Structure 1
Amino acid sequence: MTGYGSAQQQGVGSTPETQRPGRRLGLELRSVNSRFLDLSLRLSDELRAQEPQLRALLTRRLKRGKVELRAFVEEGDDGVLAHPSVPLLQQLGALQDGVLSWLPQAPPLSVADALRLCSQLGAPRQDWGDAVQQLADQALDALIEARGREGERLVAMLVERVQALRALALQAQPLVPELVAQQRQRFLQRWADAMGLAQGDAPSEAAQERALSEATAFALRIDVAEEITRLQGHLDEIERLLHKGGEVGKRLDFLIQELHREANTLGSKSATMELTRISVDMKVLIEQMREQVQNIE
């Protein structure tokens, strides 16, 4: 299911020496629909060492979805510029002289380059593990909550489609007996007409027996009671799974396939336009359910 979660921490630092008011550690999580768990991590250079820890956390708490995690560190503009130490500047100057002696075409260091390198070389070692773990937990909580809200909307939609399918099944049930009775009367009338033309009198008892036999065979061919019973059983199981919750996406997907099979059989046995219309309406509802079932975790 789709969802979004984010968390951030201002002035982050594992020790007083590494804490800066303008520094911000941020973490964002985005999730879209997928049948399997597909992780994509985009981490800034300072946080690359945290990738195994983050993957383990996501795998433990998420089961499905294409999930993108983005974590970054922004230094910000807190109005304070650190003064580089003289030994660091001397070290940079010596390094630059050595490079230029071998590569005279290389551009010299700018003031911005010198400040950036001095800040990196002179900064205390930063341990991001605890801070990243804390933010990842917060962002995951927000993501799972958002996915839960979407799941509730999907369940409500699916329950509505289930009720619509039940209503169509109820419409189909009385159609077959009515059609069988009409066809039985039609067979009897045809036999009566045929016997009357051939013998000039009423149809014999044998002819009536043959007409009833033909009507019975016709009733067996168009009987959809078994299909409707199975369809209602599948609908019961779908509702049970929806109210149960949890990881039910694959089981629901299988049940949707079974619903589609019963609706196809119902249409193939159809002997009236009304039953054909019901079969088509069922297929439309089932296809709508199929599209959304893929999203339920």
Structure 2
Amino acid sequence: MIRSMTAFASGEREIQGWLFTWEVRSVNHRYLDLSLRLPDAFRFLEPAARSRIGSLINRGRLDCTLSCKKSTEGGADIRVYRDLVAKLLAAAREVDDLSDRPLVGFSALDVLKWPGALHEPEADREQLAAEVLDLLTAVLKQAIAVRENEGRQLAVLLEERCFKLREHVAAARARMPEVLQSIRQKIVARLAEISANPDSDRLEQEMVYLAQKLDVDEELDRLNAHVDEVTRALRQKEPVGRRLDFLLQEMNREANTLGSKSADAETTKTSVEMKVLIEQMREQTQNIE
């Protein structure tokens, strides 16, 4: 099953008094281009987070952001260091006494902001890391589900175009005998106009040479083979985006050759229609992992 490279997913979980939220956004990219944003206090999670992401997603530009805040329940165990706060207040009064005029007052919140005025229970770092990474895995799986759903839609569109390409290949193949016969008739008619009486053997040799020059059987065979390979790749489980890119380049080359060898308007039109379909497929495969 193919995957798109476009997705968004998020999830939150309360862990040890903290409310953690992961957000994952992804768009198309040639390789895995990862941008990871973590709060300073949780930078230690970066190596493990990168490893976890790389194990689940192979391609695309990913913006992964972790945010956290204290939960309501998490503040219940906060304790005030009474001795330190008392010393802070005493120092403030002493400064105020030394001044010849009252200084600007401060609130209780100003005191609590002083380093060490509050004591919060320390989190179990190892357990916290495991649970935050577990949350990341859950969010990544949501993103993958979104990518797979869009991938299924892309696969339908690509298979429809593969079917149309096969029709054009069959039409071009069926057209070739008629094209050669038409060319033969034009040559004979032209010779008749100029009252020429060419050697029949020489004429047949020239027609054989012309038929070889205009022969597109190999190009049509390769086009069919590439279309079959694209259809097979769409059913594989591993990432196939780069393989599809290569196959479509080859298909475009064969369609161009068909156009260059074209000897009538219908075959030229068929070649153009093929190239339009192939370009549409190339645009769609740019978003496939």
Calculate the TM-score normalised by the size of structure 2: 0.84
Write the distance in 1 (CA, Å) between the matches of 2:164 and 2:270. 11
Structure 1 residue corresponding to 2:243, chosen from 251, 260, 269: 251
Do the aligned partners of 1:187 and 1:211 also contact (CA within 8 Å) in 2? no
Do the aligned partners of 2:112 and 2:118 also contact (CA within 8 Å) in 1? no
Do the aligned partners of 2:165 and 2:274 also contact (CA within 8 Å) in 1? yes
**1:238-261: CA deviations, max 9, x gaps?**
111111231211111111110000
Structure 2 residue corresponding to 1:88, chosen from 84, 89, 92: 84
Shift in Å at residue 91 of structure 1?
A: 5.9
Structure of higher RCO (CA pairs closer than 8 Å, 6+ residues apart): 2
Write the distance in 2 (CA, Å) between the matches of 1:91 and 1:167. 88
Do the aligned partners of 1:187 and 1:214 also contact (CA within 8 Å) in 2? no
Write the distance in 2 (CA, Å) between the matches of 1:120 and 1:166. 76
Do the aligned partners of 1:266 and 1:279 also contact (CA within 8 Å) in 2? yes
Structure 1: gaps of 5 or more residues: 14-18, 98-106, 197-202
Change (3 A) 1:251 1:5: same
* 1:122 aligned onto 2:119: yes
Shift in Å at residue 94 of structure 1?
A: 8.5
Structure 1 residue corresponding to 2:33, chosen from 21, 25, 38: 38
* 1:112 aligned onto 2:109: yes
**1:159 alignment counterpart:** 159
Write the distance in 2 (CA, Å) between the matches of 1:154 and 1:96. 69
Do the aligned partners of 1:184 and 1:212 also contact (CA within 8 Å) in 2? no
**1:27-80: CA deviations, max 9, x gaps?**
111111111111111112332221122111112221111111111112356797
**1:175 alignment counterpart:** 175
Task: For residue 30 of structure 2, give the secondary structure of its aligned residue in structure 1.
Answer: coil
Change (3 A) 1:285 1:54: same
- What residue identity is the alignment partner of 1:220? Q
Structure 2: gaps of 5 or more residues: 94-103
**1:271 alignment counterpart:** 263
Q: How does 1:116-265 map to 2 (within 5 A)?
A: 116-117=113-114, 121-126=118-123, 127=125, 128-195=128-195, 203=197, 207-265=199-257
**1:208-254: CA deviations, max 9, x gaps?**
33332332222222221111111001111111111123121111111
Write the distance in 2 (CA, Å) between the matches of 1:114 and 1:256. 67
* 1:5 aligned onto 2:9: yes
Shift in Å at residue 117 of structure 1?
A: 4.4
- What residue identity is the alignment partner of 1:84? V
Shift in Å at residue 109 of structure 1?
A: 6.6
Write the distance in 2 (CA, Å) between the matches of 1:63 and 1:180. 50
- What residue identity is the alignment partner of 1:124? P
Change (3 A) 1:186 1:79: closer
Task: For residue 194 of structure 2, give the secondary structure of its aligned residue in structure 1.
Answer: helix
Write the distance in 2 (CA, Å) between the matches of 1:119 and 1:179. 91
**1:52 alignment counterpart:** 47
- What residue identity is the alignment partner of 2:55? R
- What residue identity is the alignment partner of 2:261? K
Task: For residue 26 of structure 1, give the secondary structure of its aligned residue in structure 2.
Answer: strand
Do the aligned partners of 1:39 and 1:68 also contact (CA within 8 Å) in 2? yes
Do the aligned partners of 1:256 and 1:290 also contact (CA within 8 Å) in 2? yes
Write the distance in 1 (CA, Å) between the matches of 2:131 and 2:89. 36
Do the aligned partners of 2:13 and 2:20 also contact (CA within 8 Å) in 1? yes
Write the distance in 1 (CA, Å) between the matches of 2:191 and 2:261. 25
Structure 1 residue corresponding to 2:274, chosen from 274, 278, 282: 282
Do the aligned partners of 1:188 and 1:212 also contact (CA within 8 Å) in 2? no
**1:90-123: CA deviations, max 9, x gaps?**
46568989xxxxxxxxx99754343344688511
Change (3 A) 1:178 1:84: same
